């Protein structure tokens, strides 16, 4: 085998690996008739209210959790630890959103590794397992994508961003509702991965129920990210 042939073989292999890595970023559901409601940045003072709403509709969602927020402290301390334990027991999917919500695309390898591992330790201490799904803060992974893959994570992006973080006011939340309505599909096909935030009052008090009602009207079933891509609960976590 000549050096030229070897070079082309290696180049093709690298392209294949890159394509595989890109394909591992989850943006849409693959199970027909499903849609994934996801909530970032919690837990917060509003999370329990959201969990009650979801329970009343028999819906499980995916929560991308920040391990330590200066406004509330670490998830290993009460009441946050209890909220996460209840969330886990109720069948919701708990996923990682980094330790301190830093922009991973601006960090070096050591910084990214710390954001990953500190959250893993926190999850292990609270729910006894480590999530295998991860969403990068600000939806910016950069070079961190390869490190996340090395750590065994499935990276989740979004296909429907409600922009609730721009509309957290009673006079504005209709903007997020209208955006969701315009971008939501219909039953019979794989739906989107929806981004909202349980740290915003209007999301929990108004937007969440609106989304649930519209999902039902469209003939879709709201499930976790894992379920919407055909991954059973055993694949959501590792010990």
Contact 220, 33 (CB under 8 A): yes
Q: Cα–Cα distance between 95 and 49 in angstroms, integer?
A: 19
Catalytic residue among 197, 198, 200, 231: 197
Polymer length of the chain: 239
**Is cis: bond before 43, omega within 30 of 0?**
yes
Q: Which of 129, 141, 133, 194 is nearest to 163 (CA)?
A: 194
- 197 tagged catalytic: yes
Q: Cα–Cα distance between 164 and 24 in angstroms, integer?
A: 26
- 40 tagged catalytic: yes
- Catalytic residue numbers read 40, 197
């Amino acid at each position: 085998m000549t050096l030229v042939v070897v070079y082309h073989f290696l180049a093709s292999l690298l392209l294949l690996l890159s394509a595989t890595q890109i394909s591992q970023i989850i943006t849409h559901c693959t199970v027909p008739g499903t849609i994934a409601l996801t909530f970032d940045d919690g837990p917060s003072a509003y999370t329990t209210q959201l969990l009650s709403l979801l329970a009343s509709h028999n819906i499980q969602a995916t929560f991308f959790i920040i391990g330590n927020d200066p406004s509330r402290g670490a998830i290993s301390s009460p009441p946050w630890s209890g909220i996460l334990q209840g969330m886990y027991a109720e069948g919701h999917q708990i996923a990682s959103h980094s330790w301190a919500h830093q922009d991973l695309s601006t960090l070096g390898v050591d910084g990214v590794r710390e954001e990953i591992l500190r959250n893993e330790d926190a999850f292990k201490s609270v729910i006894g397992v480590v999530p295998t799904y991860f969403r990068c803060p600000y939806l910016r992974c950069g070079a961190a994508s390869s490190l996340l893959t090395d750590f065994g994570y499935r990276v989740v992006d979004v296909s429907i961003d409600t922009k609730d973080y721009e509309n957290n006011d009673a006079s504005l939340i209709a903007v997020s509702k209208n955006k969701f309505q315009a971008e939501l599909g219909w039953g019979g096909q794989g739906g989107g991965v929806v981004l909202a935030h349980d740290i915003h009052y209007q999301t929990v008090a108004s937007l969440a129920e609106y989304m649930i009602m519209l999902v039902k009207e469209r003939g879709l079933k709201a499930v976790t990210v894992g379920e919407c891509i055909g991954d059973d609960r055993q694949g959501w976590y590792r010990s």
